[in-house]
Amino acid sequence: MATLCRPAVSVPEYVITMEDTLALARERHPDHPQLPLALRLIENTGVRTRYIVQPIEETLKHPGFEQRNKVYEAEAKARVPAVVQRALDEAELLSSDIDVIVYVSCTGFMMPSMTAWLINNMGFGHDTRQIPIAQLGCAAGGAAVNRAHDFCTAYPEANALIVACEFCSLCYQPTDLGVGSLLSNGLFGDGIAAAVVRGRGGEGISLERNGSYLIPKTEEWIMYDVRSTGFHFLLDKRVPGTMEPLAPALQKLASAHGWDASDLDFYIIHAGGPRILDDLSKFLKVDPHAFRFSRATLTEYGNIASAVVLDALRRLFDEGGAHDRARGLLAGFGPGITAEMALGRWQGTTRET
């Protein structure tokens, strides 16, 4: 059965603190009529630090979409290989052992995909399948796990590599002054994560079932307005309340597997913001402590989009993992509004047979 192994995670070297963010908002928008509201919302995110690929002085400039996308490509090529190599090492595999690469990102665009560059530059076989996913936003971390699971179910001896590369700071738009945009400026961070799903052997989450759910008529609640200046992030004020309709979808998936989503051993959840986790705790009737890995990611890195679930899983590994056969849920939420959900059991180290 396919096993999601220990992820490798990396954040850039440039740090911006909550205090920096608040000071910048006051400095750049002193006359904004809703500045006090925006400052309060930013403070309530609980994000203490974020990491970005350029110094803040460069991040605040807007040299144009073309130049920003060049930065995205250059930074991805410079930073992704080391993270991929660590993920391969964690899974005790070589690049030549990988049969498919699932690459997810919503903060830059490349064609051919980064998958092609990795195949040509890191020793992957030239028959390696490529699954680039660009339009699922934060839900793409869960989607990547699910597509890797699907592939390894179809090809039980296969191994899949997942890569999430998000440079959210490259989407900063100085002319977007809505409260949602100002909040986003204090919420999102940059990060890269990678993990291997092994068809045989490995330690981690032995994946058993996955599913998707889209809340009807919410496709405009999280979206990009694509303009000549790049990606303009639009966030509807109703988004924080989406756990009420999504919690039943999580329960339904678990119930179909004979489990109770309110009574699992571990939870790896995308942390879009603190209310997402608070509401999920409420509607699933789960102790808030169950979401400690997701909260730690949000506090230390901010919302790193599709990479959040892999970083939260990395933190579970850092805590020592779970007991053998422990049952867990992994879920990512994003545009659509879409939930990508997976169920699995913790599996200790086993030998390939």
Write phi, then psi, for 136 (nearest 5 degrees): -105, 5
Catalytic annotation present for 138? yes
The catalytically annotated residue of 5, 138, 152, 171 is 138
Strand partners, 279: none
| C-alpha torsion angle, residues 41, 285, 142, 138 (rounded to 10) | -10
Alpha carbon 347 to chain centroid, angstroms: 23
At residue 253, what is the residue type? Answer: L
What is the DSSP track for 254-302? HHHTT--TTS-SEEEE--S-HHHHHHHHHHHT--GGGGHHHHHHHHHH-
Quote the CA–CA distance of 348 and 286 in Å, as a whole number.
25
Strand partners, 196: 161
Cis peptide before 288 (omega within 30 of 0): no
| Catalytic site positions | 138
